[in-house]
Chains A and B, each alone.
Chain A
């Protein structure tokens, strides 16, 4: 079965530090890849997505992610975090071209940014 692994359960950073959150998936076929963010008390929001083309994807709020097919990875990065980036981040996958669009989520990584 397909699965998504997020290696870090909780990451604590100081403001201006660089961020990289790991995400690996297990599926040999073509996939679509996503990062969602959930700010405290809010609903899940799409941060960025990869369907095809340039494997370096830029999203909102200065986030980017790189799809490395050979490593089955889609790590999320931000050069300099802010206190307002404190949230939970979820990596997700769905099967490209499938007749259904349900997402498979990782368990999430909680990011705490110290001011």
Chain B
């Protein structure tokens, strides 16, 4: 597609509920990143894939967070047993390059509200 697509755009979850957030990167983009943006903050790195390999998950805040990209294209970020502090916008970005950087294309994000 023309851009990075994320779904759903908005998600309201009850505390303790599991959620799955989807990212469709630009076709052919090798690298895919997930970021978390809390209100009033800049995006913070969560995890990074190169094709289907998850090369860095150091930013995942807890073991309740899990991400996958099984076929090297679509990625899913799963949050188990959601907590209020998980409320944020979750951004996905993809880039054409593998190990170098030419500029991300960001999706519009999924706004998660945990009530």
A binds B: yes
Q: How far is the CB of B61 from chain A (nearest CB, A)?
A: 15
Which residue of chain A has its CB nearest to the CB of B103? A46
In the assembly, what is the distance between CA of A105 and CA of B38, in Å?
12
Which residue of chain B has its CB nearest to the CB of A46? B103
In the assembly, what is the distance between CA of A100 and CA of B95, in Å?
12
In the assembly, what is the distance between CA of A104 and CA of B35, in Å?
10
Q: A46-B104, A94-B101 are in contact. Are A101 and B95 (CB under 8 A)?
A: yes
**Contact flags B52-73 to A (C-beta < 8 A → 1, else 0):** 0001100100000000000000
Check B33 against A102 for contact (C-beta < 8 Å). yes
User: Which 5 interchain pairs have the tightest Cβ spacing?
Assistant: A105-B42, A44-B106, A102-B45, A101-B101, A43-B108
- Provide a sorted-by-A list of 30 A–B residue pairs whose CB atoms are within 8 angstroms: A4-B42, A34-B103, A36-B106, A42-B108, A43-B91, A43-B106, A43-B108, A43-B109, A44-B93, A44-B104, A44-B106, A45-B106, A90-B42, A90-B43, A94-B101, A99-B55, A100-B99, A101-B48, A101-B95, A101-B99, A103-B33, A103-B35, A103-B43, A104-B45, A105-B35, A105-B42, A105-B43, A105-B44, A106-B42, A108-B42
B residues sitting closer than 8 Å to A (CB atoms) are 3-4, 31, 33, 35, 40-45, 48, 55-56, 59, 91, 93, 95, 97, 99-101, 103-104, 106-109
